[in-house]
Structure 1
């Protein structure tokens, strides 16, 4: 897709989750902001962050967050009158042409901004759930505010389905983005590079989140080592799971498992460029699978559970090899087969390098800018002048107003 050329815009982006412990949504917001800035637009991001958390200059902290269990994970979010006052100040200072909210029905910054703001508003939905009681409970609170959203984006068909089934309406699907060339051109690291007799298999994710599936991978280790005694399993990420837990589960086979801890973006690219296989053993709660795109961009062969989101990213198995979700035995058999078959690995890697161009930020940013332009042009088509984002006067009335209004001391 050719780049969309727009007059320079002032764009406000709201991220609901804290940058103290960044995850997929935070990285998406960060990369989108930087891609838009590179196109000549002025961007400001509002997100939760502690005072001592390093954030880029285009980001404004909405204050400290609290951990909340959501979608099988622990998300760090912020809410309440103090946060609402910060949202108002940020909106007033930004004078935005367009406001882009992420996860606006999550009880955090996005929901507050949707309640408070008025004007051209775009919302991106990331969550994919088969059935969500929290979404069903929150819908009556956000139903009226949802009408203020001019355009909806879902990062995958799974996220779109969740939106349609729980909240109604529809959305255009625009996937998460990846700077593909950063992974394609990364230098392999000798510490993590596999050999025919000692291939390397990588996992990245929060180690103590059950939905990330690390126990499923651990359940496959011993069987893989029987066929390939030199195999090494490289585990990157934070969490309480570590060598002690691996030894308890695997005994002597735990020597094949190496915990790398938290790694930087550059180290992640080098790791994925170095390993023979990237393994994604997730058991649910995934709407996309950004790390699969990163691994394909780096030229790693991907083995992933057959979640719907993963199947779609992997071109129904043409760009990676799928195994039965949650089945350690099938994962072991799949890893053994892929390690032993150079043709299978080469074929999926080649297809993966073709597939990932769809997800490059150059393409994704153009699609998002097309949505912005559609929203900004819609008023003019109705004979109305373009208007900027402002404050919705109705947000200070009723029970909602009592929650988010500028009470005495709330904006201190």
Structure 2
């Protein structure tokens, strides 16, 4: 099973009919946003706790998920962090440092895209050349909604919106940027940030736990500390003016993203199934 949803509970309830081992990967549980937080916590502590007892192995897709599920899956929990397609955006970022940052993903309030406009306003105080690209899929927020927020922040003329880009269109956009920014309030893993790093973009991230772990693990990027946008903007501008520092940061981001490779993730999942089914584990060379 992938994800904690209706079928997670259904297969737990009907396990006695199938009489097969069950494995579930968490995929953030149902905590992708803070909406209905009290109800979600109650459901998790009762129904999810009961259903998860039927599963032979619980795979946390991130350390954040591992922390959440530790209390209900003791002894059966392992962590296999998500991976990315390394070739999708590999080395796509601008090779020449440019004062452009990009953010891509779902247009939702918990992604806090509004804070990107605050950062851009501070960056433009440092240097008027700074620009922002926001690409992704409109959801709870539309392009029109975001345009209004950008206008209130006084930066609308420096923002480009790309709605529902194809992978190729997004790769072209990445080629015009040197920085990736996400100030999300909640992320289970931070897939977009890792994909951006694989392109060679320097990540600028909020201080939530998954992003802190990403920066600590890879050594790449900057974190927004204590909502100090002015201080963060000053650090970015200082780094932007140093060509060697930017080149090193680009290379460091790419190197850091390599530790999140789907080939390795796939091998580890196959080994989980092999363990559950009591068959020999396979070598990494056989996963391609």
Q: What TM-score, normalized by structure 1, do the two folds share?
A: 0.58
Is 1:213–1:326's contact at 8 Å kept on the other side of the alignment?
A: no
Within 5 A, what are the aligned runs for 1:189-200?
Answer: 199-200=99-100
SS of the counterpart of 1:127? coil
1:162 aligns with 2:62: no
Aligned length, in residue pairs: 266
Equivalent in 267, 283, 295 of residue 169 of structure 2? 267
In structure 1, what is the equivalent of residue 25 of structure 2? 124
**Unpaired stretches in structure 2, ≥5 consecutive residues:** 281-288
Is 1:214–1:281's contact at 8 Å kept on the other side of the alignment?
A: yes
SS of the counterpart of 2:194? helix
Distance 2:266 2:49 in 1: 29
1:183 aligns with 2:89: yes
CA-atom RMSD, angstroms? 2.7
Is 1:216–1:326's contact at 8 Å kept on the other side of the alignment?
A: no
Runs of 4+ in 1 over 6 A off after TM superposition: 128-131
Within 5 A, what are the aligned runs for 1:195-274?
Answer: 199-207=99-107, 209-237=108-136, 238=138, 239-240=141-142, 241-247=145-151, 249-251=152-154, 253-274=155-176
Q: Residue by residue, what CA displacement relative to the aligned partner does 1:14-73 show, whole Å, maximum 9, x if unpaired?
A: xxxxxxxxxxxxxxxxxxxxxxxxxxxxxxxxxxxxxxxxxxxxxxxxxxxxxxxxxxxx
In structure 1, what is the equivalent of residue 3 of structure 2? 103
Q: Residue by residue, what CA displacement relative to the aligned partner does 1:103-122 show, whole Å, maximum 9, x if unpaired?
A: 33x4x333333333441211
Distance 2:243 2:9 in 1: 49
Task: Label 1:202 to 1:357 Cα distance change in 2 as closer, same or farther (>3 A).
Answer: same
Distance 1:317 1:219 in 2: 26
In structure 1, what is the equivalent of residue 284 of structure 2? none
Q: Residue by residue, what CA displacement relative to the aligned partner does 1:268-305 show, whole Å, maximum 9, x if unpaired?
A: 333334311011112x2212111111111111111112
SS of the counterpart of 2:74? coil
Residue 125 (structure 1) shift: 1.3
Residue 227 (structure 1) shift: 1.7
